[in-house]
């Protein structure tokens, strides 16, 4: 069986689609609640790597942090701002 090819463009499109579906659930909530929800989801995702060991979980977290850090200026440019 051939290995499934990773489609980066499809992954990006799906990412935006899911983010837009989640956005209304967070909109209007206190920033502490928004942050806690995102932290819980991130913790669940990283915990899913526990069988790979602590080093892999730390690497996944660091890579995720870098991606988030890189996405912040893009989101600022797109006009996302605090509603509080």
Question: What is the domain range of residue 42?
Answer: 8-77
| Domain count of the fold of the chain | 1
Q: What is the pTM of this model?
A: 0.76
pLDDT of 3 over the 90 cut:
no
Q: Which helix (H) or strand (E) holds 9?
A: helix 8-26
| CA atoms within a 13 Å half-sphere pointing along the CA-CB vector of 46 | 18
**61 assigned to some structural domain:** yes
Paired tokens of 33: 């609640």
d(CA 36, CA 53) in angstroms, rounded, equals 25
**32 assigned to some structural domain:** yes
**30 assigned to some structural domain:** yes
**84 assigned to some structural domain:** no
Percent over 90 (pLDDT), the chain: 81
d(CA 14, CA 1) in angstroms, rounded, equals 25
Paired tokens of 54: 């602590």
**2 assigned to some structural domain:** no
**83 assigned to some structural domain:** no
User: For the segment 18-46, what is each residue's pLDDT rounded down to a tens digit?
Assistant: 999 999 999 999 999 999 999 999 999 99
């Amino acid at each position: 069986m051939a290995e499934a090819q990773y489609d980066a463009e499809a992954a990006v499109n799906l990412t935006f689609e899911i983010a837009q579906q989640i956005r209304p659930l967070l909109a209007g909530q206190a920033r502490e609640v928004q942050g806690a929800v995102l932290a819980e989801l991130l913790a669940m995702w990283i915990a899913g790597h526990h069988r790979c060991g602590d080093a892999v979980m730390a690497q996944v977290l660091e890579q995720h942090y870098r991606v988030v850090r890189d996405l912040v200026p893009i989101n600022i440019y797109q006009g996302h701002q605090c509603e509080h």
